[in-house]
Structure 1
């Protein structure tokens, strides 16, 4: 098969489409003929040498994919060759084939084409696991999402609104703010012009920035609020006002998804299938796709992401 290979860290130009050995599925894995994958911020960090795959994972980038099952291991349950699926991966999505534990595989929801489905697993699993499983967002509560026009942000808006929450987002341009409001956000704050902590009080905050936003996030939390940090685009080390945290009886959670064991990922995937997929089937939630780029030109897809101008997901099509 062919896959995107990273021989050394660097810019987008180090992503090379090359022939590599085919993966072989283990007893509990399915082999997927990949139709599409999608670009995530973690992929750009891996390319730069800052986010290496966990031990035993595929060395090729790509944390999600869609495609058709070509082969199943002897211990696989509920899937067979020919099934159209999408999957949450630990790596290897930028390739023509990928092997993945069956617990991380999902049927393609009704009304979504096989290519578009590649943009669902990572965002759906990230939002469900963090906003609902960890932070326990409830109907009527306020969710603040930083980076509302991102893949994570566009899924967060739609899913939180579907469950009856008030959604506030931050974004960096009038175009992005308009798109977030179209998707259902109740309020949108241009972070280039206003400080979010002066504008909103939230029960749950989903944060991709880390250190840079930590003081403002704590200030913006309501009593009993929950801050979930899933990214470090604004730095890894910040000062935490424990007095404010104690006074508000608030909590801070830091999480990642990629390195979790298969059983934990499987629990997240089951939650998505049970709670998110019916909303996708009904057309309440839709993947937001900014661009479709040939997988062999993954370098261009990374360039698009790193401009910061995209809204939603960038797909890589085999």
Structure 2
């Protein structure tokens, strides 16, 4: 037992001596490098494509060819998809509600509802909009009630179990032009008129697309033939649209006396559709303005408190003083 202990002590001593020797060598080497007039020269790794083996050259070349081919194929497919659409992208129009703090033109919303009621409602539905949504936006409560009472709603059953019709109420939704999608297709040569409740958000370009579509009907170019019942519109995907030109100059007479030109009618109905798809438009911008004004007051106070409270903690120095 004593011999093992002595042997262990001897090994520990040898290990300590070796560690001390390594430390001395490292220190002397570092000093020599620092005080040397000729700095040490290190060999650089010279790796080039020519120095690689044939297998590695073939692997790198194959990887490069596959990468370039995949990128080219993706670009060709992207261009082919774009070429298959062949529609003209709608330009950006300066809408009065397009600014960060701009509200919707509520007079235009009222005229747009008149356009929808007299022109668009013959084929397109707005099943997610009720007459009560018009109150305080484009019509008064009495006007909205009068508009609702113009329609007949099938309700029931009554006490005898029979269905009955009644005048519309504010809680009723806008009437549908067709009883079913099949009836809508049968009346429009197989084309289904889309619901206009969220059409502005459902189409790329928003109201710019709808405005361009309504005013973009023209004669097909040379070499383009359309079958019977289709009309040429460069803004519609495929250019062949089943909807006849819906608006033209003086198609209706506005209640407020505004001239009903084609561009004015398209602008009003697009503003109405923007409100229908986003009724919280004005309220959202009001809340954003309040948030910006509140942040302008709160953020400087928070920054001052941060500097006042945390400056001591961030600038303090922690020193360790070992006990004597």
Report TM bin, short chain.
under 0.3
Which has the larger helix fraction?
2
Instruction: Report the TM-score when normalising by structure 1.
Output: 0.24
Instruction: Report the TM-score when normalising by structure 2.
Output: 0.24
